[in-house]
Structure 1
Amino acid sequence: MKTAFITGASSGFGRACVEAFIQEGYKVIALARRKERLEELKNAHKDKIYTLCIDVRNQKEIFEAIENLPKEFQEIDVLFNNAGLALGVDEFDKLNLEDINTMVDTNIKGFLYVAKAVIPILRKQKNAYIFNLGSVAGRNPYFGGNVYCGTKAFVGQFSLALRNDLRGSNIKVTNIAPGLCKTEFSEVRFKGDIQKADAVYKNTQF
């Protein structure tokens, strides 16, 4: 049985991929910050899932957790590097510095920590895959998206560079760049303001 490692697994694309991979017969290592959401997944999928309650910004915890995975989850075939967020829609000079740091540390540094820790395991498999979750915002930036759009541009460019690094190896790299999708993304961006979050999707047909 193959194993997929999924970050940002508690909601949105990450949670959907947990369900999809398990349905396809994979075991899943699900990493996220929200313990109660991870417990829901564990209760639903039992021994098919191993959960890690870690913030991807915590370099030490990321590397330690991956180095100490239980035996039945040590062979990883797929990395779905998904954890990321946007905070605010202000012009850049009006952005909160803490929000800037959170976006950069999560969307870039945390993203790199996970890839750095998992790739040596992927190299040991016959065939392995890395799926990086970028965004159309990385190619088509919008007003108020400044830092977030920049981080997703990084994901796209890093994916191309990593593909070159791994050319000829057993690992394939894909950058996924979705557009607007109704997840908890906007709720996080507006820090829990449901009214503002819902307004993002007004008149949008999914």
Structure 2
Amino acid sequence: MAKRPVALITGASTGFGAAIATRLADEGYDLILLARRLEKLQALAEQLPVSSHLIACDLREQEAVRAAIAAIPAEFADIDVLINNAGLALGLEPAHRADWQDWQQMIDTNCTALALMTRLILPGMVERQKGHLVMMGSIAGAYAYPGGNAYGATKAFVEQFARNLRADLLGTGIRVTNIEPGLVGGSEFSLVRFKGDVEKAATVYKGANALQPEDIAESVAWALKQPKHVNINSIEIMPVSQAHGPLAIHRKT
């Protein structure tokens, strides 16, 4: 019996990560599921029809991450797909009133942790001459909006990092895809952004018919299923209810 491919998903316990795990399990992937909350990872793994290896750690704790990756069991060690999904937005204040700790956490998670995970997994892919790196970017990396400040900048980093990886990996057979969602409900994204304010988080999606995590998971699965000579550089995906906004103009009264 042929060995099933292995996908490592960060931020796997809820939202995009859980939906991607469910979708890739349907595609026959064994899974390495990484997130901070072990109980949520366990609950997810129990629902999946494939083998799972669970890693409960905070991606900002670099030594713990290194140790966890080094300790992956042999049957999961040859990672075919890395889904760099973990990330967050904090606050929506203008830059001059933003909380520096919020900025620091976004940079540490969305940029530094993503880069470290890529650096840890990539050498094995290069050695095997196969693999697929999937980054979870955002339309915020391309389109500025009030209050987006550091969050948008972190997602611009993800976009440019993915492009530069493609340049470095030419000739290795490894593919790199940046997924760039717009407005997506059904996750903890806005609840985290507004630090547990349920009412404020709900207003973001009210009447919007937003995308759902399953839509993002489907875009990931589609990119992975393309023929090996095809690389999907990026997928920008918005709900029909969302569009590019007009340029802002401040007018004196």
| TM-score normalised to structure 2 length | 0.79
> How far apart in 1 are the matches of 2:207 and 2:26?
33
Counting aligned pairs with the same residue, the percent is 44
The structure 2 residue matched to 1:184, chosen from 178, 188, 198, is: 188
Name the structure with the higher helix share: 1
* Alpha-carbon contact 2:141-2:157 (below 8 Å) kept: yes
Any gaps of 5 or more consecutive residues in structure 1?
A: none
DSSP-derived class of the 2:133 partner:
strand
Q: Where in structure 2 are the equivalents of 1:24-173 lying within 5 Å?
A: 24-45=27-48, 48-173=51-176
Which residue of the partner structure matches residue 15 of structure 1?
Answer: 18
Which residue of the partner structure matches residue 194 of structure 1?
Answer: 198
> How far apart in 1 are the matches of 2:50 and 2:70?
20
Code of the aligned partner of 2:96: D
- Paired residues in the alignment total 206
* Alpha-carbon contact 2:162-2:177 (below 8 Å) kept: yes
* Alpha-carbon contact 1:9-1:15 (below 8 Å) kept: yes
Structure showing greater Rg? 2
Code of the aligned partner of 1:121: G
Code of the aligned partner of 1:23: D
> How far apart in 1 are the matches of 2:24 and 2:50?
14
> How far apart in 2 are the matches of 1:17 and 1:126?
24
Cα-to-partner distance string for 1:102-142 (whole Å, 9 max, x where unaligned): 10100000111100111012223353100101000100011
DSSP-derived class of the 2:9 partner:
strand
> How far apart in 1 are the matches of 2:202 and 2:125?
39
> How far apart in 2 are the matches of 1:75 and 1:36?
26
* Alpha-carbon contact 1:2-1:25 (below 8 Å) kept: yes
DSSP-derived class of the 2:177 partner:
strand
DSSP-derived class of the 2:93 partner:
coil
The structure 2 residue matched to 1:175, chosen from 170, 173, 178, is: 178
Code of the aligned partner of 2:204: V
**Which runs of structure 1 show a deviation greater than 3 angstroms over 4 or more consecutive aligned residues?**
none
| TM-score normalised to structure 1 length | 0.96
DSSP-derived class of the 2:69 partner:
helix
> How far apart in 2 are the matches of 1:125 and 1:18?
23
Cα-to-partner distance string for 1:49-89 (whole Å, 9 max, x where unaligned): 11100111111111111111111111100001010000000
Which residue of the partner structure matches residue 5 of structure 1?
Answer: 8
